[in-house]
Amino acid sequence: MLDAARIPPLYQNASFENFVIPEDNPTAANALGFAFTNALNYTRAFPETEKPGLLFIGNPGTGKTHLAVATLRKLIQKGFDGLFYDYQNLLDNIRAGYDRESGSMDKEAYRSVLEAPVLLLDDLGAHRVTDWVDDTVTSIITYRCNFRRPLIATTNLVDPDAGFLMTERSLPGAPVRNTLAERIGMRARSRIFEMCKVVRMPAVEDYRVKRVR
Ligand SMILES: Nc1ncnc2c1ncn2[C@@H]1O[C@H](COP(=O)(O)OP(=O)(O)OP(=O)(O)O)[C@@H](O)[C@H]1O
Ligand SMILES: [Mg+2]
């Protein structure tokens, strides 16, 4: 079942057990511990959870994908089938399956994300917006929402209603970051909020950078 979930090699070992809570900064430790506990409690309650899914939101390198994979892994251990999909890769796969000449579509990727009992959609909105992206994402999210199929999503796009504000989004001079609504469309965003409990990642140091030091 773990193989079928297609967790990428980089996150093959990501679990709750090896998620480190920093000891040097008590405020960050508290906030990160809160995100960690939210995710762990979700796996314990599953499938009787408050909302069917989780949305991890916050800056790059704060451990969103790590915690999302840890969550998915626990649900698989509980016997639920899971599927990991990188958002950009998913859209590429769906698009590649579309045959212009015959107008038909190889719907395998599309169907698998509709039907997966638990779907992890990583890096939501990491793609430029087109009407096609908007329509495709909205239809996937709407379908899963209507059937209350669990969705675990991660994003580093800002969203005021998820407590991730514009003012925190970048350093002076850095490129402007888009909002979730701008990237996936208002309708998909609205449904994400309906079906996912928000797990806000605190402003901890980028773990990738920290590891290099
Ligand atoms: N608290 C942590 N303890 C242990 N490993 C961590 C922690 N936070 C992040 N990592 C590791 O650091 C790397 C980056 O974390 P991750 O990919 O989860 O970040 P992210 O928030 O998803 O970033 P992005 O927005 O760029 O996708 C991963 O290899 C992950 O396993
Ligand atoms: Mg990530």
Residue-wise pLDDT for 11-37, tens only, equals 999 999 999 998 888 998 999 999 999
Q: Report how far residue 115's alpha carbon sits from residue 197's, in angstroms, rounded to the nearest whole number.
A: 21
Token couple for 131: 């009407």
Is the CB of 16 inside a 6 Å radius of any atom of ligand 1?
no
pLDDT digits (tens, 9 = 90+) for 42-96: 999 999 999 999 999 999 999 999 999 999 999 999 999 999 999 999 999 888 8
> Of 54, 207, 211, which is best to mutate to test ligand 1, by the most ligand atoms within 8 angstroms of its C-beta?
207
DSSP secondary structure code for residue 176 in this structure = P
CA–centroid distance, 62 to ligand 1, in Å, is 5
CB-CB contact of 64 with 154 (8 Å): yes
* pLDDT surpassing 80 at residue 7: yes
DSSP 59-92: STTSSHHHHHHHHHHHHHHTT--EEEEEHHHHHH
Ligand nearest to the CA of 211: 1
Pairwise CA distance, residues 144 & 179, whole Å: 22
Question: Which domains can be identified in the chain, with CATH numbers?
Answer: 23-212 (3.40.50.300)
Closest ligand to 11 CA?
A: 1
